[in-house]
Amino acid sequence: MQNMTFPNSLKSGDKIAIISPAGSVVAAQLETTLELIKEKGYEPVLGDNLYANYQNGYSYAGTEKQRLDDLNWALNDKDIAAIWTSRGGYGCQQLLQHIDLNQFKKQPKWLIGYSDVTVLQSFLFKKGFASIHGQSVKTSSLGVSEKSYELIFDILKGKQLNYEIASDKNNRVGEAFGVLVGGNLALLYALLGTPYSFDFKDTILFIEEIGENFYALDRMLMSLELAGVFKKIKGLIVGGMTNMGKEADNKAYEEPYDPFAYQLITERVAQYNFPTVFAFPNGHIYDNRPLIIGAEVKIKVSDKVEIKF
């Protein structure tokens, strides 16, 4: 696996680009976090097409060209120190073949987001750059924990991440060390067999999901199985599994870790002997704590769970 490059820490006054590479947003959905960014001493700079809306079977934040223009601007503008995506949804895959990293390679910067942004994080990983799998700028109507944002700002300041969480009954005990990869399971599944898929060998894999039927969840797990992913990884971390087996009903945060989804995952990886962590607080859930994709992590699973970066 190639050496990973980690962006420099931010300093007071640095500019953070706010872009929408996938689904559309309206200004009211971003106001709270934009104000928080200012309170932390940074300057949010809005992409030209941040609030664009293009209807083409889905409500995109602009045409492919508009979204790509904003992404490439944010990646390569020398005055931008970090990039924070407004939301996920769908659309990042459409941009992969035309991403420009010319200036970015000289001045790497943190990309922050999750859900559909998994696609961009996989792209950067293949190029040797770390990114932050964490809460987007958009705040859900149901709220997001303060810690979800505070820890992102900690990373931007250069602080180290370490987690200690309660053990889950589905966990498999053990210790493992590897580079952290992963994100939204549907996107990992969608990238399999393409040049943009993560390299899984000797990694710690993280997965999370929302709103999938149980048979669709198993289909995605089976695809990872058939692609040999579970034979390659050193450990597995499972985050939120919300609104599974039924259509979204605005109750995502009432059951962040669906027990039947966890049962299916447990059964699918039962033949392997890597340690597994369930109920990690990351995903489409209220307590969405960031992970650093591309960072080396050590997981220790016993009567409690320790994850050290």
Handedness of CA 6, 8, 10, 14 (dihedral sign): negative
- 59-79 b/e (C-beta count within 10 Å ≥ 16 → b): ebbbeeebbbbbbbbbbbbee
Q: What superfamily does domain 162-308 belong to in CATH? A: LD-carboxypeptidase A C-terminal domain-like (3.50.30.60)
- What are the pLDDT digits (tens) for 192-242? 999 999 999 999 999 999 999 999 999 999 999 999 999 999 999 999 999
Rounded alpha-carbon distances, angstroms, from residue 181 to 152, 160, 186, 273, 280? 18, 18, 14, 19, 15
Please tell me which residue, 284 or 253, carries the higher pLDDT value. Answer: 284
Question: At 205, phi and psi to the nearest 5?
Answer: -95, 130
- Residue spans per domain, the chain: 15-156, 162-308
**Which secondary-structure segment (H or E) carries 54?**
strand 54-55
pTM to 2 decimals? 0.96
The pLDDT of residue 2 is 67
Q: Which CATH architecture has domain 15-156?
A: 3-Layer(aba) Sandwich (3.40)
On the question of pLDDT at 93 being above 70, the answer is yes
The pLDDT of residue 140 is 75
The pLDDT of residue 153 is 98
Close Cβ partners of 99 (under 8 Å, ≥ 6 residues apart): 68, 71, 72, 75, 120, 123
Percent pLDDT > 90 in the chain is 94
**Which secondary-structure segment (H or E) carries 104?**
none
Band (pLDDT 50/70/90 cuts) for residue 143 is confident
In this prediction, residues 237-256 reach a mean pLDDT of 75
CA–CA separation, 176 vs 237, rounded Å?
11
